[in-house]
Structure 1
Amino acid sequence: MNTHHFQGKYEVELKYRLNSKAEFIKVLNSIPHETMLEDNVECDRYFDSADNALQSQHKSLCIRTMEPSGIKLWIVKGPEPDRCEATNITDASKACSMLETMGYNVVLNAQKTRSIFFVGPFHITVDSLDGLGDFAEFAIMTDDESMLATYKVELEALASKFGLTPMALETKSYRQMLLQKGA
Structure 2
Amino acid sequence: MLEIEIKVKVPDLQPIRERILTSGAPLIEKGDEFDAYYNSPERNFAETDEALRLRKADDYVLLTYKGPKIGSGSFKAREELNLRVESLETMDLLLQRIGFQKTATVRKYRESYGIGLATVTLDSVDGLGTFAEIEAAAELSQEDAEKEIERIAKEYGIIGERLTLSYLELLLEQQR
TM-score of the two chains, using structure 1 as the length reference: 0.85
Match of 1:125 in 2: 121
Following the alignment from structure 2 to structure 1, what is the Cα–Cα distance between the partners of residues 24 and 135?
17
Equivalent residue in structure 2 for 1:175, among 123, 143, 168: 168
Equivalent AA in structure 1 for residue 40 of structure 2: S
Equivalent residue in structure 2 for 1:77, among 66, 72, 79: 66
Equivalent residue in structure 2 for 1:66, among 57, 74, 78: 57
Q: Given that residues 132 and 158 in structure 2 are in contact (C-alpha distance below 8 angstroms), is that contact kept between their aligned partners in structure 1?
A: no
For 2:99, what is the secondary structure of its paired residue?
A: coil
Q: Given that residues 118 and 124 in structure 1 are in contact (C-alpha distance below 8 angstroms), is that contact kept between their aligned partners in structure 2?
A: yes
Q: Please, what is the CA RMSD of the aligned residues? A: 1.8
Following the alignment from structure 1 to structure 2, what is the Cα–Cα distance between the partners of residues 142 and 122?
9
Question: 1:176 and 1:113, CA in 2 relative to 1: closer, same or farther beyond 3 A?
Answer: same
Q: Given that residues 44 and 63 in structure 1 are in contact (C-alpha distance below 8 angstroms), is that contact kept between their aligned partners in structure 2?
A: yes
Equivalent AA in structure 2 for residue 157 of structure 1: R
Following the alignment from structure 1 to structure 2, what is the Cα–Cα distance between the partners of residues 121 and 52?
36
For 2:63, what is the secondary structure of its paired residue?
A: strand
Equivalent residue in structure 1 for 2:104, among 102, 108, 112: 108
Match of 1:159 in 2: 153
Equivalent residue in structure 1 for 2:94, among 89, 92, 98: 98
Equivalent AA in structure 2 for residue 161 of structure 1: E
State the shift of 1:181 in Å.
1.4
Q: Given that residues 32 and 119 in structure 1 are in contact (C-alpha distance below 8 angstroms), is that contact kept between their aligned partners in structure 2?
A: no
Match of 1:55 in 2: 46
Following the alignment from structure 2 to structure 1, what is the Cα–Cα distance between the partners of residues 3 and 35?
18
Following the alignment from structure 1 to structure 2, what is the Cα–Cα distance between the partners of residues 56 and 102?
21
Structure 1 unaligned runs (5+)? 1-8
Q: Given that residues 10 and 141 in structure 1 are in contact (C-alpha distance below 8 angstroms), is that contact kept between their aligned partners in structure 2?
A: no
| Most deviating of 47-56 and 22-31 | 47-56
| TM superposition outliers: structure 1 runs of 4+ over 6 Å | none
Q: How many residues align?
A: 169
For 2:86, what is the secondary structure of its paired residue?
A: coil
State the shift of 1:118 in Å.
0.7
Question: 1:84 and 1:141, CA in 2 relative to 1: closer, same or farther beyond 3 A?
Answer: farther
1:10 aligns with 2:2: yes
Question: 1:143 and 1:36, CA in 2 relative to 1: closer, same or farther beyond 3 A?
Answer: closer
